[in-house]
Amino acid sequence: MSRALAGQWMASARTRARMIERLREKGIRDERVLDALAAVPRHIFVEEALASRAYEDTALPLGFAQTISQPYIVARMIEVLRSGRELGRTLEVGAGCGYQAAVLAQLTDEVYAVERIGPLLAKAKANMRTIQQFKVRLKHADGQWGLPEAAPFDTIILAAAAAHVPQALLQQLALGGRMLMPLGAAEQHLLLVERRAEGFVETRLDGVRFVPLLSGVE
């Protein structure tokens, strides 16, 4: 790590700590999730012009009509997925700049992340190199089709809102696995899907606002 980067890392420690306290105040209770967010320097993943806002609890633009998710939403989704279990082999759909994948990599050794926009994927790879996070496997692909060559997954998390539950992702969910995704268009909510012996069980959770899940690659 360069001296300049080390300085930025230390300077961000206090603002990261304040962010974690805000997440606690909002109801995040899983200390391992909070530790994971505290370990990842969000300022590395945002646009340089927005670095001063990196630890605000808000989504920020990444370009390409995409955003880096609000820290509370990252924490909330991972906390739901971890409740009473470990994440295991995890697939993220919509890697963006790589921030959420880096947080996930603090909690499991098997993280696969797909991104449909090539330049964003290149940013994610560069960000992973900067923070020396080499556990995340990144791929340029249409996330609606998942990553069949690495399936089945114990955990699937979507960072974009689908109009319906992608069937390909259901098929790649392991028995006992969980998938959490934003669902809807004008009005969205989180949908938890659990694969049990008797079939898929869906639970509707919080209202949210995400960019749409699009098909194809760029």
Cα separation values, 47 from 50, 119, 183, 184, 211, Å: 5, 14, 27, 28, 18
Structure tokens at 26: 């909002």
For helices 71-82 and 3-25, angle between their N-to-C axes, nearest 10 degrees: 70
The question of whether 12 is a catalytic residue gets the answer no
Question: Which residue in the list 2, 12, 52, 69 is annotated as catalytic?
Answer: 69
Residue 137's DSSP bridge partners are 112
CB atoms within 10 A of CB 45: 25
Please give the positions annotated as active site.
Answer: 69
